[in-house]
Amino acid sequence: MTELCLEINRADKAFPGVQALSKANFKLKKGSIHALLGENGAGKSTLIKIITGIHKQDHGDLLINNSARVLNTPNDATLYGISVVHQERNLIRRFSVGENLMLNNLPRNHFGLIDYKEIAIQSKKWLEIMDLNIDPATLVSDLTVAKMQLCEIAKALSLKSKILLLDEPTSSLSPQESENLFLLLKKIVRDEGVSIVFVSHKLEEVFSICDEVTVLRDGKNACTSEKIENLNRKKLVKLMIGRDEQIVRAKSQNSKNKNLVLKLNNVKSEIGHRDINLELHESEIVGLYGLVGAGRTELAKCLIGIEKIVSGDVEINGLKQTIHSPKTALEKFRIGYISEDRKKEGLILIHNVLDNSSITVWSKIKKAFGYVTDGMISMKVTPYIQQLEVKTPSNYQLISNLSGGNQQKISVVKWLAAGTDILIIDEPTVGIDIKTKAYLHKLIIELAETGTSIILISSDMPEMIGLADRILVMKDFKISGEVNNNHNYDKTSAAIMEYIHD
């Protein structure tokens, strides 16, 4: 029988108004990759925080290498060889790669000063394990997202970690970068004796890389350490959400017969876009697909006035317009933007659910009444909070205390409440569970059917093909081609990849 390196038995954890875990169990075998799955709010994040010493369980036992342990701080977890790589990057961008890797144990010379030569020597070892041909003196800000991810794993290995928790590790990676990451994960399991807890909402990845699966639902075990070969997608989804998966696809339509609401003519931006031509019709969903760094998000920011357009024309409802700021975009032209980076751009983490949900409608309410009260705001946004089934004890809960998926729901709520004519949706389902993902897909389709024109940015190929009417493929800050989407996955994905690799 394979020896366990980590075990949690009958763990309970409660927060005000929420029972996050109830008699939860988890068992990680040495030298394995173990998936931890569940809907947003199912208890995954709480379990991870117990394993990494951020929270302490109210009841239950935590064993490391078959010995009962008490983890009071993250440092305690590190001492026992446990590290976590979060979905959001935790590297210090203005520090070098070597400084980041050795930050917890910076070598010093006999004068007590930091020994940068030794930093380079020590960090190089861990970079080589991750197949990273990077000069340790390189600034983190100069790396691609994929290399930042690998550097975070290298940093965890430098701490002599034998238990590695990966939270949505591929959320910002292209399919090829994800494949490369999986090869490296299998390598460090084999060669470095590392055991991995893998958290992802992408079930195809779970079947590709994991040995066993534990599923949480409403803080309880739906299954514990089930072998992956005993499951298929249908069974796994049912364990996660308690029913069969609903596949949502938009109906094919010819939107070009409808009113043209947005047109870009030979647009060039200050940050590198050139020759951008784009048309968006009423009730149409136009997809922007491309690899990380293709310029999709940056183009969205040009359309809401964050980045500057230096030449070419932007036409809204047939008239040439200049958009100076997100405020102008929303209040004058009724254009909204759901950011891919909810924590930095989409939400104010120190404010509560009600404040974050209503920030886009304050001026509208104030214009109508001259003042704003919580009651007025609540009437406007609560129906959307309920519609998206946001799990929160109350509307006054701090947004930072919600799970990542529920934070994403609030970033959607505020734009639903705003009632925009044009909505740019950037990576809408990153970090979102299967049930909520299907619901958001249905919501996007319903928004289009009721008159909203949508620009959809997604790195999720099935999502893009399931929702978009037309797909524009971006590469190197240009549009390299257009694909009319008939929702046939094989044909449409092949046509997209031709433009990607052209």
Q: What is the pLDDT of residues 294-322, one digit of tens each?
A: 899 999 999 999 999 999 999 999 999 99
Cβ–Cβ under 8 Å, residues 247 and 268: no
The domain that holds 75 is classified in CATH as: 3.40.50.300
Looking at the fold, whether 417 and 281 belong to one and the same domain comes out as: yes
Mean pLDDT, residues 78-93: 87
- Same domain assignment for residues 232 and 270: no
Domain that holds residue 467: 255-501
Q: What is the pLDDT of residues 87-126, one digit of tens each?
A: 777 889 899 999 999 988 888 888 888 899 999 999 999 9
- Whose CA is closest to 474, among 300, 266, 293, 294? 294
Element (H, E) at 442: helix 434-449
Task: Choose among 265, 292, 273: nearest CA to 459.
Answer: 292
Number of Cβ within a 10 Å radius of residue 19: 14
Q: Which of 178-182, 336-340, 343-347 has the lowest mean pLDDT?
A: 343-347
Residues 221 and 272 in one domain: no
What's the pLDDT at 304?
94
Average confidence (pLDDT) over 150-165: 90
What is the pLDDT averaged over residues 139-155?
A: 87
- Specify the pairing of strand 453-457 against strand 260-269: unpaired
Cα separation, 221 vs 217, whole angstroms: 6
**246 located within any domain:** no
**CB contact burial 133-158 (16+ within 10 A = b; e otherwise):** ebebeeebeebeebbbbbbbbbbbbb
Report pLDDT for 64.
Answer: 96
Helix residue ranges, H only, 313-361: 326-331, 353-358
Q: Which of 105-109, 365-369, 453-457 has the highest mean pLDDT?
A: 453-457
The one-letter amino acid code at 204 reads E
What is the pLDDT, as a whole number, of residue 365? Answer: 75
- Whether residue 96 is contained in a domain is answered as yes
For residue 337 the two structure tokens come to 């933007």
In whole angstroms, give the CA distance from residue 467 to residue 449.
12
Per-residue model confidence (pLDDT) at position 275: 95
The answer to whether position 248 is within a domain reads: no
C-alpha distances in angstroms, 150 versus 114, 127, 156, 174, 273?
Answer: 24, 8, 10, 14, 29
pLDDT given at position 243: 80
In residues, how long is the chain?
502
470-475 β-sheet, strand order: 335-338, 422-426, 453-457, 285-289, 470-475, 478-484
**Are 294 and 183 in the same domain?**
no
Same domain, 269 and 237: no
Q: Looking at residue 2, what is its pLDDT?
A: 67
276, 230: one domain: no
| Residue 178 and residue 308 in one domain | no
Distance CA 369, CA 373 (A): 10
| pLDDT band for position 348 (cuts 50, 70, 90) | confident
pLDDT computed for residue 146 by the predictor: 79
CA pair distance 181, 474, nearest whole angstrom: 24
Q: In this structure, how many other beta carbons lie within 10 angstroms of the beta carbon of residue 67?
A: 9
User: What is residue 374's predicted lDDT score, i.e. its pLDDT?
Assistant: 83
Q: How many domains does the chain have?
A: 2
Domain assignment present for residue 457? The answer is: yes
Give the pLDDT band (50/70/90) at residue 51: very high
Residue 232 near residue 213, CB atoms below 8 Å: no
Residue 454 lies in a domain: yes
Among 203, 219, 241, residue at a domain's last position:
241
Q: Considering the domain boundaries, does residue 250 fall inside one?
A: no
pLDDT value for 4: 92
In which band, very low, low, confident or very high, does the pLDDT at 417 lie, cut at 50, 70 and 90?
Answer: confident
* pLDDT surpassing 60 at residue 1: no
What is the rounded average pLDDT for all residues in the chain? 89
Of 104 and 66, the one with more pLDDT: 66
Domain assignment of residue 350, yes or no: yes
- For residues 223 and 269, membership in a common domain is answered with no
Question: What is the CB-side half-sphere exposure of residue 125 using CA atoms within 13 A?
Answer: 11
- What does the angle CA 10 – CA 15 – CA 16 come to, to the nearest 5 degrees? 145
Helix (H, G, I), strand (E, B) or coil at 304: coil
**Average of pLDDT values for 45-69?**
95
Can you give the pLDDT at residue 258? 83
Separation of alpha carbons 202 and 430, rounded Å: 10
Q: How far is CA 46 from CA 38, 232, 360, in A?
A: 12, 26, 31
Element housing 270 (H / E): none
Out of 114-118, 193-197, 276-280, pick the least confident: 114-118
In this structure, how many other beta carbons lie within 10 angstroms of the beta carbon of residue 272? Answer: 12
Please tell me whether residue 111 adopts helix, strand or coil conformation. Answer: coil
Q: How far apart are CA 175 and CA 392, in angstroms?
A: 33
Same domain, residue pair 122 and 207: yes
Query: From CA 360, how far away is CA 413, in angstroms rounded?
Result: 10
Residues 68 and 181 in one domain: yes
Which of the four pLDDT bands, split at 50, 70 and 90, describes residue 254? low
Asked if the model's pLDDT at residue 6 lies above 90, the reply is yes
Among 190, 214, 241, identify where a domain stops: 241
Statement to judge: residues 214 and 264 lie in one domain = no
Please give the backbone phi and psi of residue 449, each rounded to the nearest 5 degrees, phi first.
-65, -25
Residues 146, 293 within the same domain: no
- Residue-level pLDDT at 256: 63
Tell me, what DSSP letter sits at residue 108?
A: B
Q: Identify the bridge partners of residue 197 per DSSP, sorted by sequence position.
A: 34, 165
Q: Above pLDDT 70, what percent of the chain?
A: 96
pLDDT at 253 (0 to 100)? 64
- Note the pTM of the prediction, 2 decimals: 0.73
Pairwise CA distance, residues 279 & 286, whole Å: 9
Distance CA 391, CA 400 (A): 13
Which of the listed residues 201, 217, 241 is the one where a domain comes to its end?
Answer: 241
Which of the pair, 430 or 166, is modelled with greater confidence?
Answer: 166
Does residue 275 fall inside a structural domain?
A: yes
> 361: which residues sit within 8 A by CB, 6+ positions away?
377, 380, 381, 414, 417, 418
- Burial class for 68, CB neighbours closer than 10 Å (0-12, 13-18, 19+): exposed
